[in-house]
Chains A and B, each alone.
Chain A
Amino acid sequence: MEFLLQSIFNGVLAGCIYALFAMGLTLIYGVLNFINFAHGELIMWGAYFLFLLMEEPLHLPLPVALVPALFLTVLLGMGMDRLVFKPLRQANRLTLLIAALGLSFLLRNGAQFFYGAEIRTYGFEIKRGLRFLGISITPSQIAIVLTSVVCILLLYFLFHRSRLGKSMRAVSDNLELARVVGIDSKRAIRAAWVIASLLAGVGGILLALDTNLQPGMGLINLVKAFAATLLGGVGNLWGALLGGLFIGLAENLGVLIISPGYKDAIAFGIMVLMLLVRPSVLFGGRE
Chain B
Amino acid sequence: MRKTVSLILALIGTFSLSTSLATAQETYKVGAAFALSGSIAVYGEGFKKVVDMAAEEINAAGGIKGKKMEIVYEDNKSTPKDCVTAVRKLITVDKVPVLFGPAGSSNFMAAAPVAQENKVVMLSAQGAAPALTKAGEYIFRVFPSDILQGKGVSELCVRLGYKEVPVMYVNNDWGLGLKNSFVENFRKAGGRVTDEIPYDENKSDYRAELIRATKGNPKATVNLTYIKEGAVMFKQAYEMGIKTQWICGSAARAPKLVELAGKAVEGIIGTYPFVSHETKEYKSFLAAYKKRYGDDKIPIFGDYNYDMVYITAKAIEKGGYTSDGIRKALFEVARGYRGVTGKKTFDQDRGVDSEYGEWTIKDGKIVDYKK
* Chain A residues within CB distance 8 Å of chain B: 3, 6-7, 10, 14, 118-119, 121, 125-129, 131, 136, 138, 207, 211-212, 214, 216-217, 220-221, 251-252, 254-256, 259-261, 263-264
CA distance A221 to B204 in the complex (A): 9
Q: B residues within 8 A CB of A131? A: 241
Report the nearest A residue to B238, measured CB to CB. A126
The answer to whether A7 touches B228, judged by C-beta atoms less than 8 angstroms apart, is no
CA distance A260 to B209 in the complex (A): 6
Q: Which positions 291-346 of chain B face chain A at CB distance < 8 Å?
A: none
Query: Contacts A10-B207, A211-B232, A255-B208 known; A119 to B200 CB distance under 8 Å?
Result: no
The answer to whether A119 touches B207, judged by C-beta atoms less than 8 angstroms apart, is no
- B348 in the interface, Cβ–Cβ < 8 Å? no
Report the nearest A residue to B236, measured CB to CB. A211
Q: B residues within 8 A CB of A216? A: 202
The answer to whether B212 touches A119, judged by C-beta atoms less than 8 angstroms apart, is no
CA distance A182 to B16 in the complex (A): 91
CA distance A251 to B205 in the complex (A): 11
The answer to whether B208 touches A128, judged by C-beta atoms less than 8 angstroms apart, is no
Which of these, B200, B207, B239, B256, contacts A264 with CB under 8 Å?
A: B200
Q: A residues within 8 A CB of B235? A: 126
Report the nearest B residue to A264, measured CB to CB. B200
Residue interface bits B139-181, CB-to-A below 8 A is 1, else 0: 0000000000000000000000000000000010000000000
Report the nearest A residue to B242, measured CB to CB. A136
Report the nearest B residue to A11, measured CB to CB. B208
The answer to whether A7 touches B211, judged by C-beta atoms less than 8 angstroms apart, is yes
The answer to whether B204 touches A260, judged by C-beta atoms less than 8 angstroms apart, is no
Which of these, B196, B197, B228, B263, contacts A119 with CB under 8 Å?
A: B228
Query: Contacts A10-B211, A260-B212 known; A119 to B260 CB distance under 8 Å?
Result: yes
Which of these, A125, A128, A217, A256, contacts B211 with CB under 8 Å?
A: A256
The answer to whether A128 touches B239, judged by C-beta atoms less than 8 angstroms apart, is yes
Chain A: minimal CB distance from B254 (Å): 11
Report the nearest B residue to A127, measured CB to CB. B239
Which of these, A7, A126, A136, A211, contacts B208 with CB under 8 Å?
A: A7
Which of these, B199, B205, B211, contacts A211 with CB under 8 Å?
A: B205
Report 18 cross-chain contacts, Cβ distance below 8 Å, ordered by A residue. Answer: A3-B211, A6-B211, A14-B205, A126-B261, A126-B262, A127-B239, A129-B241, A136-B240, A211-B232, A220-B204, A251-B208, A252-B207, A259-B196, A259-B197, A260-B209, A260-B212, A261-B200, A263-B209
The answer to whether B231 touches A119, judged by C-beta atoms less than 8 angstroms apart, is yes
CA distance A127 to B200 in the complex (A): 25
- B63 in the interface, Cβ–Cβ < 8 Å? no
Q: A residues within 8 A CB of B198? A: 259-261
Chain B: minimal CB distance from A109 (Å): 16
The answer to whether A212 touches B208, judged by C-beta atoms less than 8 angstroms apart, is no
Report the nearest A residue to B209, measured CB to CB. A260
* Chain B residues within CB distance 8 Å of chain A: 171, 196-200, 202-205, 207-209, 211-212, 215, 228, 231-232, 235-236, 238-241, 256, 260-264
Report the nearest B residue to A252, measured CB to CB. B208
Q: When A and B form their complex, which 8 residue pairs have the shortest distance between CB atoms, in order from nearest?
A: A261-B198, A211-B204, A255-B208, A260-B209, A10-B207, A252-B208, A136-B241, A136-B240
The answer to whether B239 touches A138, judged by C-beta atoms less than 8 angstroms apart, is yes
The answer to whether A217 touches B204, judged by C-beta atoms less than 8 angstroms apart, is yes
CA distance A213 to B105 in the complex (A): 30
Chain A: minimal CB distance from B244 (Å): 13
Which of these, B202, B208, B260, B262, contacts A220 with CB under 8 Å?
A: B202
The answer to whether A128 touches B199, judged by C-beta atoms less than 8 angstroms apart, is no
Chain B: minimal CB distance from A245 (Å): 15
CA distance A207 to B204 in the complex (A): 8
Query: Contacts A207-B204, A216-B202, A261-B199 known; A126 to B264 CB distance under 8 Å?
Result: yes
The answer to whether B199 touches A212, judged by C-beta atoms less than 8 angstroms apart, is no
Which of these, B199, B238, B263, contacts A260 with CB under 8 Å?
A: B199
Chain B: minimal CB distance from A9 (Å): 9
CA distance A131 to B243 in the complex (A): 14
Chain A: minimal CB distance from B176 (Å): 10
Report the nearest B residue to A14, measured CB to CB. B205
Q: A residues within 8 A CB of B232? A: 119, 211-212
Report the nearest B residue to A129, measured CB to CB. B239
Q: A residues within 8 A CB of B215? A: 3, 256
CA distance A254 to B171 in the complex (A): 18
Chain B: minimal CB distance from A161 (Å): 34
CA distance A3 to B215 in the complex (A): 7
Report the nearest A residue to B261, measured CB to CB. A126
Q: A residues within 8 A CB of B260? A: 119, 121, 212
Q: A residues within 8 A CB of B171? A: 261
Chain B: minimal CB distance from A269 (Å): 15
The answer to whether A128 touches B202, judged by C-beta atoms less than 8 angstroms apart, is no
Q: A residues within 8 A CB of B202? A: 214, 216, 220
Which of these, A6, A211, A263, contacts B200 with CB under 8 Å?
A: A263
CA distance A261 to B167 in the complex (A): 13
Chain A: minimal CB distance from B195 (Å): 10
CA distance A121 to B209 in the complex (A): 21
CA distance A126 to B256 in the complex (A): 15
Q: A residues within 8 A CB of B228? A: 118-119, 214
Q: A residues within 8 A CB of B208? A: 7, 10, 251-252, 254-256, 260, 263
CA distance A179 to B162 in the complex (A): 71
Which of these, A136, A221, A261, contacts B239 with CB under 8 Å?
A: A136
CA distance A10 to B237 in the complex (A): 12
Report the nearest B residue to A257, measured CB to CB. B212
Chain B: minimal CB distance from A188 (Å): 33
Q: A residues within 8 A CB of B239? A: 126-129, 136, 138
